[in-house]
Amino acid sequence: MVEMDDRGEGPLVAVLGTGIMGSAMARRLIVANLRTTVWDHLPSATNPLLEVGAQVARSPDMAVREAAIVITMLPTADVVNEVILDGKVAEAFSPGAVWAQMGTIGLGATIELASRLRDLRPDVLLVDAPVSGSKGPAEAGQLLILASGPAEARAILKPAFSAIGRKTVWLGEVGQGSRMKLVVNAYMSALIEGVAEALELADRLGVDSSKLAEAIEGGPLDAPIADAKLHKMERGDFAPEFPLEWALKDVDLALAAAGDARLPMLTALSQRWRAAVDAGHGREDVSAARIALGDHA
166 lies in the same domain as 184: no
Phi and psi at 46, nearest 5°, equal: -105, -20
Does 150 reside within a domain?
Answer: yes
Does 79 reside within a domain?
Answer: yes
Q: What is the pLDDT of residue 9?
A: 61
Neighbours of 108 (CB within 10 A): 14
Distance CA 253, CA 248 (A): 9
Tens of pLDDT, residue by residue over 156-189, are 999 999 999 999 999 999 999 999 999 999 999 9
Does 291 reside within a domain?
Answer: yes
Distance CA 118, CA 124 (A): 8
Distance CA 25, CA 138 (A): 6
Burial of 154 (0-12, 13-18, 19+ CB in 10 A): middle
Looking at the structure of the chain, the number of domains it has is 2
Q: What is the pLDDT of residue 191?
A: 95
Does 110 reside within a domain?
Answer: yes
25 lies in the same domain as 129: yes
Distance CA 193, CA 290 (A): 8
Does 192 reside within a domain?
Answer: yes
Does 229 reside within a domain?
Answer: yes
Helices 224-235 and 176-205: angle between axes, nearest 10 degrees? 50
54 lies in the same domain as 142: yes
* Contacts of residue 278, Cβ cutoff 8 Å, sequence gap at least 6: none
Low-confidence ranges of the chain (pLDDT < 50): 1-8, 295, 297
162 lies in the same domain as 186: no
- Per the structure, the complete domain to which residue 136 belongs is given by 13-173
Tens of pLDDT, residue by residue over 277-286, are 999 999 999 9
Q: What is the pLDDT of residue 294?
A: 58
43 lies in the same domain as 161: yes
146 lies in the same domain as 230: no
143 lies in the same domain as 189: no
CATH number at residue 250: 1.10.1040.10
37 lies in the same domain as 153: yes
Does 3 reside within a domain?
Answer: no
53 lies in the same domain as 123: yes
Which of these three, 147, 173, 199, is where a domain ends?
173
CATH number at residue 78: 3.40.50.720
Does 8 reside within a domain?
Answer: no
Distance CA 110, CA 120 (A): 15
Which of these three, 173, 206, 234, is where a domain ends?
173
66 lies in the same domain as 96: yes
